[in-house]
Structure 1
Amino acid sequence: MQYERPRQVTAEEAAATFHSGQPREIAETLIAASLSLQDREWVEQWLIHFSAHPASDVRRAAALSLGHLARLHRQVSPQAVEAVGQLRDDQSLSGAAADALEDVEIFTRDS
């Protein structure tokens, strides 16, 4: 696996991709949205939605996105934390979920 810098994305572009149904594109765009959009709550609604997606790569992207949002915005909603917290029960995603929840604890500590 090779690192690729996430692209900048607008909310309109992200929404179109999210409705496409293509797991790889959804995962990449969810991460891009968490890094480039200022509307944290909008991104959170999508990550909550995609935390239950059938594709594990999309669920993993939801967890990673929560960590990014916590780091960049210094706050996240309890609903987003709960959605990612449920991924700890998935053996293949438990590490990603734990990392994201640790980021929430570290970066939202004083919020």
Structure 2
Amino acid sequence: MITAEQAAVAFESNRPRLISDSLISAALYVQDREWVEKWLIHFTRHSDSDVRRAAALALGHLARLHRCVSPQAVDSVRRLLPDGSLSGAAADALEDVEIFARPM
């Protein structure tokens, strides 16, 4: 488990693995969906592909757990589709949105 405060510290680090792990944990355990979405949107533009992949995975978790996600978060993950190394993760996350989330 992770708190928002712990995640924020990790997000400010320059450690891609820590950021990735913390982003996924935050999606699973931090109840403030909008706060997590803000970070996942931010990290879809990160230079490290594993961090971008974690951001996509986080969107899928948010859709499953909260049953809604913002259009901005969906669009940020949709922009990962053209990247061949991330297209599978992005497509999986968008499928989770389609299956589990209601429109906002």
Partner in structure 1 of residue 59 of structure 2? 66
- Per the TM alignment, residue 109 of structure 1 is displaced from its structure 2 partner at its CA by 4.2
Could you state the TM-score of these two structures normalised by the residue count of structure 1? 0.91
Question: Among residues 82, 101, 104, which one is paired with 1:108 in the alignment?
Answer: 101
Deviation at 1:56, TM superposition (A): 0.4
CA 1:82 to 1:32, structure 2 compared with 1: closer, same or farther past 3 Å? same
State the match for 2:9 in structure 1: 16
How much does 1:21 deviate? 1.3
- Matched residue, 1:41: 34
Cross-structure match for 2:50: 57
CA distance in 1, matches of 2:83, 2:60: 18
Q: Percent identity?
A: 68
Unpaired segments ≥5 residues, structure 2: none
Q: Within 5 A, what are the aligned runs for 1:79-98?
A: 79-98=72-91
- The DSSP-based 3-state class of the residue aligned with 1:47 is helix
Which structure 1 segments of 5+ residues have no match? 1-7
Residue 110 (structure 1) shift = 7.2
How far the C-alpha of 1:80 sits from its partner, in A, is: 0.2
From the superposition, tell whether residues 79 and 110 of structure 1 become closer, same or farther in structure 2 (CA, over 3 Å): closer
- Match of residue 5 from structure 1: none
**How many residue pairs are counted as aligned between the two chains?**
104
Normalised TM-score (structure 2): 0.97
